[in-house]
Amino acid sequence: QKREISNFDYLMYLNTLAGRSYNDYMQYPVFPWVLADYHSETLNLTNPHTFRDLSKPMGAQTVERKHKFIQRFNEVEKNLPAQCHYCTHYSSAIIVASYLVRMEPFTQTFCSLQGGSFDVADRMFHSVKSTWESASRDNMTDVRELIPEFFYLPEFLTNANNFELGCMQDGTVLGDVQLPPWADGDPHKFILLHRQALESDYVSAHLHRWIDLIFGHKQHGSAAVEAVNTYHPYFYGDKIDLNNIKDPLIKSTILGFISNFGQIPKQV
């Protein structure tokens, strides 16, 4: 409010308070998608429609998708131990490694998480626009958010090490990440404009709503249900007392689930 700290610094501060760290891929700092425009030739940061709805989680960015997740919550699938909207998470080790796969040591981390090799090319992170469309609209198992590097590190968007990442079904050979038209194919321009979007008046006025979802009172409980923001019970690390679980198989299953799919930050 006093313009004494940037939105970026504030989010990093909250992530640290909530136990997130660059040293832990499973609890890596989480940042929001702030834009919804990855198709225009120029980026208009004065138009509210340019931005993502920060009051809603990624699973509720479109009305149709939101209703599908509410339906899942109400039906309670037989194989779920409890009601939840999402069985996948917005931040996990594989999400972090997939974003940063073109840079070491994340390349090796990604391959080790994938069993020793790169993923199928069509599932690799190759386009900012298609990743947004997947996470906000198209894919019911994808509700991922972003990582801090999207706002300061152009190098992760280029395949400077010339890794052979594979070829997609349409014949496209994976190399550098495909950027929105407004970036003019320049990773530095993308980072510059993306950071300007994060620090824009619109985001400054609405960022607290996203913080409520990720770090605040809409993280769990009735407020989370109302906000279509509940996740698999295993994702809430502080809600499960592993010391009381005597069966080693169940305990290892829960730990494996958390390490694969992510963990909700500590509530600030």
Q: What is the CATH number of the domain that holds 98?
A: 1.10.1540.10
69-to-62, 140, 235 alpha-carbon distances in Å: 11, 8, 17
Give domain status of residue 148, yes or no. yes
Range of the domain at 66: 7-261
Give domain status of residue 18, yes or no. yes
How high is the pLDDT of residue 130? 96
Say how far residue 29 (Cα) sits from the centre of its chain.
10
Whose tokens are 């979802």? That residue is: 213
Give domain status of residue 2, yes or no. no
Neighbours of 256 (CB within 10 A): 11
Give domain status of residue 112, yes or no. yes
Contacts of 187 (CB under 8 A, 6+ apart): 154, 155, 157, 158, 176, 177, 179
Task: Indicate the residue type of 207.
Answer: L
Q: How many domains does the chain have?
A: 1
DSSP classification of residue 178: B
> 28's torsion region: left (phi>0), alpha (psi -120 to 50) or beta?
beta
How high is the pLDDT of residue 238? 64
Neighbours of 134 (CB within 10 A): 17
Give domain status of residue 267, yes or no. no
Residues 6 and 4: their CA atoms lie apart, in Å, by 7
Query: Which portions of the chain are predicted below pLDDT 70?
Result: 77-81, 238-243, 259
How high is the pLDDT of residue 21? 95
Q: Is the pTM of this model over 0.85?
A: yes
How high is the pLDDT of residue 157? 97
Give domain status of residue 85, yes or no. yes
How high is the pLDDT of residue 241? 66
Give domain status of residue 266, yes or no. no
How high is the pLDDT of residue 125? 94
Say how far residue 59 (Cα) sits from the centre of its chain.
11
Give domain status of residue 149, yes or no. yes
Neighbours of 159 (CB within 10 A): 15
